[in-house]
Amino acid sequence: MSPVGRGLLTTVLCLLLLLGSVAAQAEAAPSADVLVGVFPHGADMESYRSVMASAVSYKLSGLGLSVAFLPVDARDTDLEARARRDGLPVTLGCRYDVAGGKMSVSLSWHEVGGAGSPVERTESGSLDLRADAIIFRALDSLLLAVKGDVDRLASARAAASRAAQTPPPAQSPRAPIVPASKPPAGTARVATTPPRAGGLAVTAGFAPFIAIGPASSYFSVGLLPSILASMQFSTPAGSFSVGVYTAMVIFTATGLIDTASSYLIPVGPDLRYEAGNGRPILVFAHLCGGPAFLLMNTGAQGTLFDITEFLKSGLGATFMISPRVGLSVAADYEIYFEMPYLIMGFSPTAMVSVLL
């Protein structure tokens, strides 16, 4: 990635971290709910450790749990003892083996100090570009079996977080009563800016697609050029537009044993609302969805093609440099319903619009 690209990615990630609530939740409940140990079978299996750890962290964090990991050099027998020492209620042992082009994953969930036996699940499958699906299948099966434990831990953490973030009641000073004053007679009303001209608008945009969730384990950032053709309708409450949106998410998917040049092509209707009719600043919200075409050029399996669906929404602002030309920025969130796991990400977009 170029220095400019790395700088843009760093800036966007910092903004997302500042806007997130993860730090506040960590302060409210610093103790973890689950102590996780990742144990490869064999010294040459270390390269898959980060894939396993990322999948576990994503799943458990998404369920409202806080996760702590054993150090890399810890042994299997250290998991229970470390959890007892640190006062953590649950352990999750993750063991995996890779041999003959296949991966085997074994998970064990145990309530520390409990009399019951650990809940265990095992999955295996071929290593290919989507080998992380083996890990997620095992996690889904295990978490379904221990749903009661997960719900109890998540509820306790949410309650502790709310209690820590609730400010103490404060008495606000009584505001003085000020008699209302009438404007001087003959004061002229300020004329409002005339509504923006309606018609056909063409908008070209570009953004990095910053993957989150399972997709981030095989690609982090893609390129997203886009184009939108829309009809605008002006009203006293603001401007509405209905149009057709298309784009192309260009990324390189890197699996455990293969790499693919990949393209996601969404096409669908876009509905947009602009708050107010004035210039030069317009604030808008939009929603878009429809089919998306997935094309992957792999070295081992050739060209793969699939059709899925997408949904995109976001907020933005436009600066009208003339009655018919505007420059916009938007913070968008996109979901591609590619199974078995979604492709999700943020796309901070810069756009130029021309009203024809």
What confidence score (pLDDT) does residue 48 get? 79
pLDDT given for residue 169 in this prediction? 65
Is residue 10 included in any domain, yes or no?
Answer: no
Whichever domain contains 206, its CATH number is 2.40.160.20
Q: With 60 as the cut, is the pLDDT of residue 63 above it?
A: yes
Domain CATH code at residue 73: 3.30.160.100
The reported pLDDT for the residue numbered 69 is 92
Strands of the sheet with 102-111, listed across from one edge: 67-69, 34-40, 90-99, 102-111, 119-126
Q: Kindly state whether residues 291 and 203 are assigned to the same domain.
A: yes
Query: What pLDDT sits at residue 333?
Result: 96
Strands 119-126, 199-212: pairing is unpaired
Asked, for residue 171, whether it belongs to a domain, the answer is: no
| In-domain check, residue 350 | yes
pLDDT digits (tens, 9 = 90+) for 222-278: 999 999 999 988 777 778 899 999 999 999 988 665 688 999 999 999 999 988 655
**Bigger pLDDT: 356 vs 79:** 79
pLDDT in tens, 85-128: 988 999 999 999 888 878 899 999 999 887 788 999 999 888 76
112-121, 206-215, 295-304: least confident range: 295-304
Confirm whether 144 is domain-assigned: yes
Confidence band, pLDDT 50/70/90 cuts, at residue 75: confident
Supply the range of the domain harboring residue 81: 27-163
Q: N- to C-terminal Cα distance for the chain?
A: 37
pLDDT of residue 274: 86
Q: What is the arithmetic mean of pLDDT over 19-40?
A: 63
Query: Does residue 290 surpass a pLDDT of 50?
Result: yes
Q: What is the mean pLDDT of residues 298-314?
A: 88
- Domain membership of residue 1 (yes or no) is no
Share of the chain above pLDDT 90, in %: 40
pLDDT at 130: 61
What is the SS3 assignment for the chain? CCHHHHHHHHHHHHHHHHHCCHHHHHHHCCCCCEEEEEEECCHHHHHHHHHHHHHHHHHHHHCCCCEEECCCCCCCCHHHHHHHHHCCCEEEEEEEEEECCEEEEEEEEEECCCCCCCEEEEEEEECCCCCHHHHHHHHHHHHHHCHHHHHHHHHHHHHHHHHHHCCCCCCCCCCCCCCCCCCCCCCCCCCCCCCCCCEEEEEEEEEEEEEEHHHHHCCCEEEEEEEEEEEEEEECCEEEEEEEEEECEEEEEECCCCEEEEEEEEEEEEEEEEEECCCCEEEEEEEEEEEEEEEEEECCCEEEEEEEEEEEEEEEEEEEEECCEEEEEEEEEEEECCCCCCEEEEEEEEEEEEEC
**Last residue of some domain: 163, 191, 223?**
163
206 and 135, same domain (yes or no): no
Q: Is the pLDDT of residue 3 over 80?
A: no
Domains identified in the chain, total number: 2
- The answer to whether residue 308 scores a pLDDT higher than 80 is yes
Residue 177 in any domain: the answer is no
Same domain, 318 and 254: yes
Residue 150 and residue 203 share a domain: no
Query: Do residues 345 and 204 both lie within one domain?
Result: yes
Strand partners, 350: 206, 329
- Where a domain ends, among 163, 183, 207? 163
Predicted confidence band at 279 (pLDDT cuts at 50, 70, 90)? low
pLDDT in tens, 154-210: 998 888 888 877 776 665 555 555 554 554 554 444 334 344 445 789 999 999 999
Identify whether residues 131 and 262 lie together within a single domain.
no
In a domain, 34, yes or no: yes
* Domain limit, last residue, from 111, 136, 163: 163
137 and 235 both lie in a single domain: no
Is the same domain home to 59 and 112?
yes
Q: Is residue 222 part of a domain?
A: yes
Same domain assignment for residues 122 and 261: no
Residues 209 and 341 in one domain: yes
pLDDT, mean over the chain: 81
Q: Do 102 and 38 have their domain in common? A: yes
Give yes or no: residues 128 and 36 share one domain: yes
